[in-house]
Structure 1
């Protein structure tokens, strides 16, 4: 499986200027290629290369850099087309979709640029890289990373690495090919995971990751942003820039910890994992205005993706189940009724009288659905008897 490792570059002043200038020139060229592709109806990459390669070389780009710029522009349109087909940009005729389809794709001046082994070489023992720029090859550019990341690079790095500028600092995002453990084809049971806002995740094994701390952190960040934006001074804007992406980094760290706990438990007990398929929930659910920020800050998809790749790496089976009625269904007697869910935290069955935490009840229902989905999937792969 493919994973990425991010390392921070520590260039000298002249090296940083060369890297910054290179990204600006490359992304300006990518915008021009995007305009050509848009005007010509987004042709195939080979045809687009015929119309743009000579001009890119004239702009000072190397052969490999020019190829990557063309591919980056073409891939951006492929992604746009996939998002439109999946309905992520709204229905035909919607403002968002019309806006996306009516003009060429643009690239930020500091957007990522892929480098292959012809343009970038790693000296892992010295912790330096040699990288191509429009000013020539830069050698001995230092980088910093954790010992775990260095080991990952040494053992598994393979393929392209992306150069990106974030907040005035440069990073290399390297692709690593990590072997997966053999999938456990006979899990002892399934661990149901109920995702939520009040509790980030609740499992049928009794683990509960409370969301109170994360929600408080998000509220503090929101209040601080509002104060700084209202102030509007230069120092306030500098602080806003300094604190940018802090909430996203904190949320990602919490999700990594929760995902690792869930997968480690499943691996140790020989179980599989059942997650709710919450695709499109933001379009289906309606909330009051004061609740919308909390709903749209909910990073359930990120947590699910973390659990998914960690499970693949550990060989743990993972299935997605339909979340319908999991909060109204009694895990003891199977009675479904909306009134069973007394409030956010309490479940009280109107039929058998079972009382328990609502998230615990839902996680048991998800675990049971996971076993059903896994069994049906295994049976469907068995060839029919002759």
Structure 2
């Protein structure tokens, strides 16, 4: 008995070395696995970039051969869309034209009667400023245009909104349905003239293209990264409660990040004297939530986009970066810039660009943080991303 007790410390010592050896072996196996997967992550990232740059163009070109895939957009509709995109814009549009335009437009715009024929159209983000100087409320609480303010605008003495933001008049040529004939001298106002029809891919064409490109990319990237994906699925097969709850914790973290992003956006509006605005990416999604394209757009936004984006921006970029802090920074900025690529291409206003970039940047950092907290498990971030996008779609549909 005494002899056995004397050997117990040695057994404990042996067990300690055994555990240490096992831990070192696991670290070595993990390192070898990551080294083995390195080339696949490089190919996955390259496939994603090439897919969006070239394959998407090829698909949309083929779809455009189908009759009805391209729509004609009239000058007056372009004027209305310009005010949606530019929160400093204003337009005078015939009521008939506005009523016949896309019903989705009305969510982003405030209108006020100028006379029996014309409506004044401004961006909802600029509504408080517009009402402060341009609108008079009578005893019946009806709203009317302030003719004194309008006169100042027409004669060129009022050229800016509050905060020294330049007023931009979007208009058509004479004889078209967005021409304010009461303005005598257009040299006195800052105007943008749109006088020709333009052709544009229909929402259905763009949505179908998005479905196809995402399905193809998920197939390619999923095949390349399947060894990683299988490992990340293991905790869910074992019903690991921590990982399952991680999806909802991730959603909560994202919610908090977006609250911080709202504060930062408010600071940006003050620093750059802008009234806010919506990103072209978000506008495109919400514009597609009408007609027969709704189910496909929901499928892309809620299912496909979270899968491919998390596989690339979290799994692949983190693996290639190796250092967690570097992975979070690179993936967050890459994720953010992808979603504001239209604004980056034009870059008409640094303030507006930073304003629309901020929420996507916040999302990127939130997803990156969740990815690290939950042991680099991409299924957790995919789940949180899906829930967030589903909530965004529900809010957009209810708003319409």
Higher helix share: 2
Q: Structure 1 length normalisation: TM-score?
A: 0.25
Higher strand share: 1
Larger CA Rg, structure 1 vs 2: 2
Q: Pick 1 or 2: higher relative contact order, CA cutoff 8 A, min separation 6.
A: 2
